Amino acid sequence: MVSSRKKFLVWWFRSGIAIRLALFFAVSALLFALVYWQRPDGEGTYLPTNIAVFSLVNLNIAILFVLIFLVGRNFYQLIFDRKRKILGSHLRFRLVSAIVGLTAIPAVLLIAVSSGLLNRAIDGWFSSPAEASVEAAKDIARFHFQSLEQRTAQIARSLSEEVQSKQLVISRVEDLKGLLESRRVAETLYAIEIFRNKEVSLVKVENATASITFFSPPPPREESFERAFSGEAHVVVQETPSSQFIRAFQPLILGKEEVVLVVTHRVRSEMTLALSSIRQSYQEYRQLTHFKNPLRSTYILTLYMIAGLVLFAAMWLGIQIAKQLTVPIQRLSEGMREVAKGNFRMQVHHRGDDEIAFLTRNFNQMTNQLRESTEQAESRRVYLETVLENLAVGVIVIDPMARISAVNSAVLRMLSKQRDSISYEGALVETFLPIQIWREVKELLHVEESGDDRKRGSTSARLQEREVVFSLDGREKRMLCTAGILRTRDQNLLGSVLLLDDVTALSEAQRLAAWREAARRIAHEIKNPLTPIKLAAQRLKKMFSVDEEGGRGVHDATTTIIEHVDSIQRLTDEFSRFARMPMLHLETTDMKTLVQEAVLSYIEEGSRISFQSIIDDDVPPLEVDAEQIRRLLMNLIENAVKALEEDVEQQQNESPRIVVRLSVEKTDGEVLLEVRDNGPGIPDHEKMQVFQPYFTKRSGGTGLGLAIVSSIVAEHHGDIRVVDLNPRGTRVIVSFPIFGRESTQRKLELSWKED
Amino acid sequence: MIFRQSFVLVLGIFLLVYPAFSSAEEEARITVQWSPRPAGLSLFRDRSFSVLFPLSTRETRECIDAGLELEHRFLFRLCRQVNGFTTDCRTTKRVVHNLSYDPIQDAYRIMKDRLDDQEDPTLSSHRVFDDSLGEASLVRELPIWYVLDSQEDDPPLLGNGNWSIGMRVRTTCKGEMREFLADLSYFVSFGIIDIYGTDSGCEYFRLVE
């Protein structure tokens, strides 16, 4: 399950710029509203405490620092990536620098100019003439107002003196009133009043509008009365929403009573308005003066913050634009790296309809085509390799430096090498091939190099053949070597190819066939005259008896003739048998029985030669011609017997022994038939010749026995070899494939093994 | 990684150090003086109290000299502690003292107004700054019934002792220019430039016999 946080992050990074901007503005508006709500305002239901404001300030500072951090981090990341030469970092750096430069330079210029203009404008507000005029207006208003206060106080003072000088008393209220009224009218006062105490008014004269509450002044304040009754003459100003009243309090002794004379002067409405206007203007001017620097700072700070935001926005925009370019390019680059490594399934995904998307689509097409081509080439290669591996002919591909490029298993089998063909790749051909083959092959290759084919410009040279005879594992081998030069159409040398075909068996078969034909003809030609010769001799023998003169001589002569004719007949019979090898009658035969029978037939009492048979129990029945196998066994054992008899006569061997062993080699799928003797052995140079017809070292031998054995083995698609025993003796090993004719291919794959 | 760590370190130091550089002026406390209970007075609501929350001389002078008006707003709220977590409070009542300088009269004018009654505000002038400062800081003889929701209401105080008056004083320097400037300064500076004034915080004074 993907966590919700991860889902959000995936959605956030996949969402477009429009959504992010919308979210950004929404959050900003929310924050703005929160700040506005937090602002102390009148009787808001929420009254933020100092802690809340302090926290908000710190939060704002933190946000400011985060902004600075983000800008700094982005900038640092750009530089760092560029230094590390990360793909796309140069482009990103240039784009961001360009966009930031394009926005920053005008923004900085604008700020510089705006700051200058702003400073000038603000300073202009507070120029000397402006300040002087404001101050002068204020002074004039103040002077006028003070004049009014002084006049009112003067009036109160003069009135109290007048009252005292006239020795008016409280009881003469009418007199007092008349005086006060006359003075009130003369001085255009609002009201004149005499108080006994703060609550009791003795005399009062006032303006006619005093009865209208809207125009009536507020009652004098207690503290004013306290001051006045304590003897302090003073002036106070009292206001109503509509008017200003100047009140002069003058202590007075009326009769013997201490009273307070209160003179009230109402400032004219026009004057009040004018004074209010001046007051307001002055206050505003003072406010402006007070906030000049904070105002200046605020405006400049605003400019800087806007510039900062613009810079950040420009940087962010630059990064986003750069990312839109560099991220797909990076993906393409990674894709190319993967393709270079051999991963042709690599696909790059990019949404959009721009040039990058076009490039990406082309890249994907290219990788698909590459993959298909590679797969086709691979399947062709596998096909060719399979064909090569299954060829019965050995193939060696050689590069121009005479090193092996490729070799198939047929070559390894023919040359009795280990099966891992890869381990021979790169090895020198000279070290790989037997020396006899290399000598011939080298000549072939040299012939090709200097041949006319190169001049003719053919793509491949004419193939040259040569048969090579060499010895391998004590056996004579015949190999048909075919070499060819490989060239491109441009006549560049690719190397050469060497084909090896083991024609040993074929050659032997051809030789045997030739021998048989010769034997058949000779036997046929010789046999015919033998009968009449023998008959004639017999007749002569009968014609002359031994007692007659000369009869003994004729008798001996004819006897000799007849014996030799018989001998020649036996020889021709052998020839005939060799020539006319019967057709094979294959049937499932128990080899164990054949071996036992053969060995038993030679065991006789008094024989100095001991016989032993060793037969494995798991030897399977084979598809063989039983008669031929018997003949084979007889010939092999007979050979061994003859060799041991000679050995005994020469007193070379005191315990002659013949062992016949039948075993199965499951790994190679063969049944091995061995005839061992501890006779004199066969010299190495004769091991190859013993299976050839008419090769014999015994007097009276026909030389056909082992040739017949070899022929029988070949008919059964087996193999035969002669190996020396240690310390003395001979092993003749015959191998039969377990699966008979149907898997003759397996015979080619068998490896030679020795115990 | 180093960049991020350095930034966090700097920010942390700033946040730790910032309070030390913020205003270290000791905050004033609200002082309440209960008027003695007149003989024969049976209802608590007829009693009165005076509240003093001294204004800062420096800040007041700055505000007044700048041609602005200083508003000293007293907030009162009668509350009863129901349990350890909840309180039962009445409506907040307000008394506002506005102190300003009249350049024409060359005097400091104080307008006192109880916002939640029908009476007109009272005006007074003082030639001496300190006198005006003292006068503006003091609410004289405020009757308890003013704090109640209605004049007939009388809280069951006797024998209960859970009633108290919550008081709060906010001082704001106001002016025609000020609101716009203050708003602008406040928003743009993320609250760093704050000329809205001070707030005493709420203090509770138990009503006692």
Chain B's closest residue to A275, CA to CA, is B104
At residue A417's C-alpha, the angle toward residues A411 and A420, to 5°, is 85
φ/ψ of residue A515, rounded to 5: -60, -40
In whole angstroms, what is the distance from residue A572 CA to residue A580 CA? 12
Of A43, A64, A141, the CB nearest to B190: A64
Pair (A69, A153) in one structural domain: no
**How far apart (Å, rounded) are the C-alpha atoms in residues A222 and A537?**
195
| Nearest-Cα residue of chain B relative to residue A64 | B190
- Give the relative orientation of helices A705-715 and A626-649 as an angle to the nearest 10 degrees: 150
**Tens-digit pLDDT profile for residues A349-359:** 877 788 888 88
* Model confidence band, residue A457 (pLDDT cutoffs 50, 70, 90): very low
The sign one gets for the Cα dihedral A375, A376, A378, A383 is positive
Question: Is the CB of B66 less than 8 angstroms away from the CB of A62?
Answer: no
Confidence band, pLDDT 50/70/90 cuts, at residue B42? low
Q: Tell me the C-alpha to C-alpha distance, in Å, between residue A489 and each of A384, A447, B160.
A: 21, 21, 118
Nearest CA-CA partner of A675 in A714, A697, A644, A702:
A644
End-to-end Cα spacing for chain B: 66
The Cα A699–Cα A575 span in angstroms is 17
Structure tokens that stand for A551 in this block: 């009869």
Cα A191–A154–A156 angle (5° rounding)?
A: 40
**Pairing mode, strands B69-81 and B93-102:** antiparallel
Average pLDDT over chain A reads: 79
CA distances A87 to A95, A331, A493, A509, A592, Å, are 14, 10, 42, 72, 78
> Two tokens at A547?
């007692």
Which residue bears the tokens 């707030």? B199
Domain boundary among A579, A604, A621: A579
From B209's Cα to the closest Cα of chain A, the distance in A is: 31
Q: A380-428 pLDDT, tens per residue?
A: 989 988 898 888 889 999 888 888 888 888 888 888 886 665 678 888 8
Measured CA to CA, the distance from residue A516 to residue A528 in angstroms comes to 18
SS3 A336: helix
Q: Determine, for residues B184 and A302 on separate chains, whether the beta-carbon distance falls below 8 Å.
A: yes
* A61 and A99 share one domain: yes
Return d(Cα A155, Cα A174) in angstroms, integer. 20
Q: Name the percent of chain A in helix, strand, coil, to the closest 5.
A: 60, 15, 25
* A497 part of a folded domain: yes
User: Which residues of A, range 393-432, sit inside 8 Å of B by Cβ?
Assistant: none
At A35, the pLDDT band (50, 70, 90 cuts) reads low
Q: Which amino acid is at A47?
A: L
Residue A674: pLDDT above 90?
yes
Residue at B34: amino acid letter? W
3-state secondary structure (DSSP) of residue A141: helix
**Token pair in block for residue B190:** 């993320």
Q: Same domain for A155 and A109? A: no
Contact status of B25 with chain A (Cβ, < 8 Å): no
Residues linked to residue A464 through DSSP beta bridges, in sequence order? A483
Residue A591 placed within a domain: yes
Helix axis angle, A17-38 relative to A50-83, nearest 10°?
150
Residues forming beta bridges with residue B114, ordered by sequence position: B95
Q: Say which amino acid occupies A432.
A: F
* Omega before A620 within 30 of 0, i.e. cis: no
Start-to-end Cα distance in chain A: 66
User: Which of B3, B125, B192 has its CB closest to that of A237?
Assistant: B125
Confidence of residue A156 (pLDDT cuts 50, 70, 90): very high
- B49-108 residues touching A, CB cutoff 8 A: 62, 65-68, 75, 92, 94, 100, 102-107
Distance (Å, whole) CA A387 – CA A61:
79
Question: Do A519 and A493 share a structural domain?
Answer: no
> Domain boundary residue among A475, A502, A529?
A502
Share of chain A above pLDDT 70, in %: 84
For residue A723, is it within any domain?
A: yes
| Locus of tokens 């009445």 | B90
CB contact under 8 A, A290 and B194: no
Compute the nearest-CA separation of B55 from chain A (Å): 17
Name the residue facing A290 among B65, B100, B103 (closest C-beta).
B65
Q: Which residue of B has its CA nearest to A57?
A: B191
- Give B175→chain A minimum CA distance, Å: 8
Structure tokens at A109: 């210029």
Task: Looking at the structure, tell me whether residues A306 and A429 fall in a common domain.
Answer: no
Q: Which two tokens stand for residue A143?
A: 């002077």
Whether residues A410 and A482 share a domain: the answer is: yes
Please indicate whether, in this complex, the C-beta atoms of A40 and B170 are within 8 angstroms of each other: yes
How is residue B100 written in tokens? 């300003």
Q: Residue A620 corresponds to which tokens in the numbers above?
A: 């399977």
d(CA B196, CA A666): 105
User: Which of A461, A465, A452 lies closest to A496, judged by CA?
Assistant: A461
d(CA A522, CA A512): 15
Q: Please indicate whether, in this complex, the C-beta atoms of B191 and A305 are within 8 angstroms of each other.
A: no
A62–B186 CB contact, under 8 Å: no
Longest Cα separation, chain A: 236
Task: Judge: B188–A302 Cβ closer than 8 Å, yes or no.
Answer: yes
Domain presence at residue A235 = yes
CA B158 to chain A, closest CA, distance in angstroms equals 31
Indicate the pLDDT class of residue A754, thresholds 50, 70 and 90.
Answer: very low
* Domain end (from A502, A527, A552): A502
For residue A263, what pLDDT band results from cuts at 50, 70 and 90?
very high
| pLDDT over 70 at A317, yes or no | yes
**Residues on chain A touching B184 (C-beta within 8 angstroms):** 298, 302
Test A36 with B187 for CB contact under 8 angstroms.
Answer: yes
Tell me which residue in B65, B197, B201 faces A49 most closely, judged by beta carbons. Answer: B201
- Give the residue carrying structure tokens 């030739």: A514
Chain B residue with CA closest to A222: the answer is B124
Token pair of A21 as six digits: 């901007």
Q: Structurally, how many domains does chain A consist of?
A: 5
Domain-located, residue A527 = yes
How many Å lie between the alpha carbon of A203 and the closest alpha carbon of chain B? 25
Lowest mean pLDDT: which of A526-530, A537-541, B184-188? B184-188
> Is A142 within 8 Å of B107 when comparing Cβ atoms?
no
Cβ burial, residue A532 (10 Å; 0-12/13-18/19+): exposed
Q: Are residues A88 and A152 in the same domain?
A: no
Cα–Cα distance for residue pair B95/B142, rounded to 1 Å: 9
In a domain? residue A1? no
The neighbouring-strand residues paired with B89 are: B79
The helix/strand/coil state of A43 is: coil
Mean pLDDT comparison of A81-85, A671-675, B163-167, highest-scoring range: A671-675
3-state secondary structure of A692: coil
- Is the pTM above the cut of 0.80? no
**Cα–Cα distance, A664 to A652 (Å, whole number):** 33
Chain B residues whose CB is inside 8 A of the A146 CB are 106
Closest CA to A298 of B68, B175, B181: B181
State the CATH number of the domain containing residue A146: 3.30.450.20
The tens digit of pLDDT for each residue in A101-146 reads: 888 788 888 888 888 888 888 787 777 787 888 889 989 988 988 8
Rounded Cα gap, residues A111 and A307, in angstroms: 8
CB B51 within 8 A of CB B203: no
> Which residues span the domain enclosing A573?
509-579
> What is the distance between the alpha carbons of residues A407 and A424, in angstroms, rounded to a whole number?
8
Annotate A95-125 with three-state secondary structure: HHHHHHHHHHHHHHHHHHHHHHHHHHHHHHH
Q: Which of residues 421-480 of A touch B (CB under 8 A)?
A: none
Within this chain, do residues A427 and A402 fall inside the same structural domain, yes or no?
Answer: yes
Q: Both A143 and A269 in a single domain?
A: yes
Q: Closest partner residue to A287 among B18, B67, B92, by Cβ?
A: B67
Residues of A in contact with B14 (CB under 8 A): 61, 65
Judge if A101 and A193 occupy the same domain: no
Structure tokens at A247: 């009140």
Q: What is the mean pLDDT of residues A567-594?
A: 79
On the question of pLDDT at A78 being above 50, the answer is yes
Average the pLDDT over each of A232-241, A266-275, B30-39 and give the range with the smallest value: B30-39
Collect all residues of chain B within an 8 Å Cβ-Cβ radius of residue A62.
11, 15
Contact map slice: B 127-166 vs A, CB within 8 A: none
Note which residues in 175-194 of chain B have CB less than 8 A from chain A. Answer: 175-178, 181, 183-194
* Chain A residues whose beta carbon lies within 8 Å of the beta carbon of residue B175: 283, 287
Rounded CA separation B187/B194 (Å)? 9
Residue A403 distance to chain B (closest CA, Å):
56
The answer to whether residue A347 sits within a structural domain is no
Nearest to B67 among A39, A57, A282 (CB): A282
**Is the Cβ of A35 closer than 8 Å to some Cβ of chain B?**
yes
CA B92 – CA A746 distance, rounded (Å): 111
Other Cβ atoms less than 10 A from the Cβ of B66: the count is: 21
User: Residue type for A626, please?
Assistant: A
Q: Please give the structure tokens belonging to residue A460.
A: 């491949």
**Judged by CB atoms within 8 Å, which residues 105-164 of A form the interface with B?**
138, 141-142, 145-146
Which positions 207-226 of A are in contact with B (Cβ < 8 Å)? 218, 221
Regarding whether A458 and A420 lie in a shared domain, the answer is yes
Token pair, residue A512, equals 């045997």
* Residue ranges in A126-242 assigned as alpha helix (H): 128-165, 173-186, 222-229
Q: Does A238 touch chain B (CB under 8 A)?
A: yes
pLDDT tens digit sequence for B173-189:
775 445 555 566 566 55
Question: What gap in Å lies between CA B118 and CA A195, rounded to an integer?
Answer: 29
Closest residue on chain A to B178 (Cα): A287
Mean pLDDT over A85-95 rounds to: 80
Residues 249-288 of A with CB under 8 A from B: 275, 278-279, 282-288
Buried b (16+ CB within 10 A) or exposed e, A440-466: bbeebbeebeeeebeeeeeeebeebee
pLDDT at residue A622 is higher than 80: yes
Q: Is residue A98 part of a domain?
A: yes
The pLDDT of A458-462, averaged and rounded, is: 47
Are residues B94 and A43, on separate chains, in Cβ contact within 8 Å? yes
Which pLDDT band holds residue B95 (cuts at 50, 70, 90)? Answer: very high
Q: How many CB atoms lie within 10 A of CB B119?
A: 8
Interface test with A, best of B104, B183, B198 (most A CBs within 10 A): B104
The answer to whether A89 and A78 are in contact (CB under 8 A) is yes
- The reply to whether A140 and A121 lie within a common domain is no
* Confidence (pLDDT) at B23: 43
- Is residue B191 scored above 70 in pLDDT? no
Q: What is the CA radius of gyration of chain B?
A: 21
Nearest CA in chain B to A135: B103
